Amino acid sequence: MSDATELTSATFEAAVGSGVTLVDFWAEWCGPCRMMTPVLNELAGQFAGKAGIAKVNVDSEPSLAEKYRVSSIPTLLVFKDGTETKRFVGVTPKAELLKAIDAALA
């Protein structure tokens, strides 16, 4: 099983700039965010080599949270070639995330 990649302001644009990437905006103190961690790690293993699965800690990277208008966490964004294609707010079932990633890959 792979783990989701931790992104910072320095690595974010390169990570989402090409291909498909699911980015989870989260924080350590957020219970619902912690509930999403095993789902994201499963997706990272499932989509290894096909799509990126990444996380942004909003406490460490408030400028990224502000740039992408993240006001509630967890917020999960699907990017395709640098453009946001789908947004989920709150705990999201794995099946919905799978569907969104598959749609972006198609």
Beta-carbon contacts of 73 under 8 Å, excluding residues fewer than 6 positions away, are 25, 26, 27, 30, 32, 33, 58
Could you say which of 33, 40, 76, 77 is catalytic?
Answer: 33
Ranges of beta strands (E only) in the chain are 5-6, 20-26, 52-57, 75-80, 83-89
We report the CATH number of the domain holding residue 25 as 3.40.30.10
Domain count, the chain: 1
Annotated catalytic residue 51: no
Is 90 in a helix, a strand, or coil?
Answer: coil
What pLDDT, on a 0 to 100 scale, did the predictor assign at position 48?
Answer: 92
Beta-carbon contacts of 42 under 8 Å, excluding residues fewer than 6 positions away, are 1, 94
What pLDDT, on a 0 to 100 scale, did the predictor assign at position 34?
Answer: 94
Residue 83 bridge partners (DSSP): 80
What pLDDT, on a 0 to 100 scale, did the predictor assign at position 1?
Answer: 47
Annotated catalytic residue 30: yes
Q: What range does the domain containing 19 cover?
A: 5-105
Predicted structure pTM score: 0.95
Could you say which of 2, 5, 19, 30 is catalytic?
Answer: 30
d(CA 67, CA 105): 24
